[in-house]
Amino acid sequence: MAHNDRVQLRTGLEISQMGLGTATFGGLYTSVSQEECDAAINCALDNGITYIDTAPHYGKGTAERRLAKSLKGKPRASYEISTKIGRLLVPTEYEAEPDFADTDTSVTRVFDFSESGVEKSLRSSLERMELESVEILMIHDPDDNADAAIRESFPALLKMREKGIIKAIGVGMNQSATPARMIKETDIDLVLIAGRYSLLDQRALADLLPVALERGVDIIAAGVLNSGILANPVKGATFDYVPASDEILVKAQRIKALLDQHDIPLAAAALQYPLRHPAVKCVLIGCRSTDEILSNAANLDLELPEGIWQKIKAIL
């Protein structure tokens, strides 16, 4: 496998096998500059990473606005964009937040999965990104709004797909039950699943991945480093954005010890593992620097001996 391989989704749309996530562009946990965003986009495109994912949620529009500046002047055919609906950004007096250091404090998020909300959200995203269209539009985190997502959001997205406004319909979540239900009850094209199919967490194997394979729905795997522990499994490392339990930490350290015997970086196995499942077409990785992009690309390209996966499986 190679990070810049082109993979075809079921709608015929082609994207790169490694995608660039832009939550970092919104200042996720640490502030970033526009210059750092520009450098990341230039590095990604120069290295064949053409699929870029964003959302209004990331910094309350900051990521989308920064992406617009970073992509300015680049041929529209040189990249594929996905963004998301489900959260409208509504003016407010002042609202800071701890998760995104570069958040727009003049707006607040309001969940809205209605047809009008879908249309308004896309229009606003296109304005922020200074684009006329996006390739993929996803329903974002309908955890408590699954019925509305199925009955209201999906029909609105279906109309857009039929009119050629978008090329694919998706849902992006960090749990697998609702996406599995949506595959069964709608004609979505893809699922972006964050953190639920990794070396340390295979919960998506129980429900999402089997039905996706059965229905021909493409899977994009995100959060495959489980928020950091699979990059560096030391005491205090985070798993799903909180300090890892001793049990999780020990498992990660056992996998790392095994890989160290073969001079294989833990991150290489973590990035490649999801792509071994036939339903998974792409690994989406949030990067905030050119060094991170190049390192992750190299780890994705590294050829691992087939026997190592059986040894990892024994630990899992």
Beta bridge partners of 8: 14
Reported residue count of the chain is 316
Of 264, 266, 282, the C-alpha closest to 274 is 282
Q: Give the integer Cα–Cα distance in Å for 216 and 199.
A: 23
Beta strand extents in the chain (DSSP E only): 6-8, 14-16, 18-21, 51-53, 80-85, 87-91, 107-111, 136-140, 168-173, 190-194, 218-222, 238-239, 242-243, 280-286
Q: What is the largest CA-CA distance in the chain?
A: 58
Q: Respond yes or no: is residue 241 known to be catalytic.
A: no
Structure tokens at 113: 């999965």
Active-site annotation holder among 58, 79, 197, 273: 58
Q: Which two tokens stand for residue 60?
A: 């309350």
Backbone conformation region of residue 157, classed left if phi is above 0, alpha if psi is from -120 to 50, else beta = alpha
Sign of CA dihedral 193, 24, 4, 276: negative
CA distance 156 to 161: 9
Q: If we measure between CA atoms, which residue out of 274, 273, 279 comes closest to residue 210?
A: 279
Active-site positions read: 58
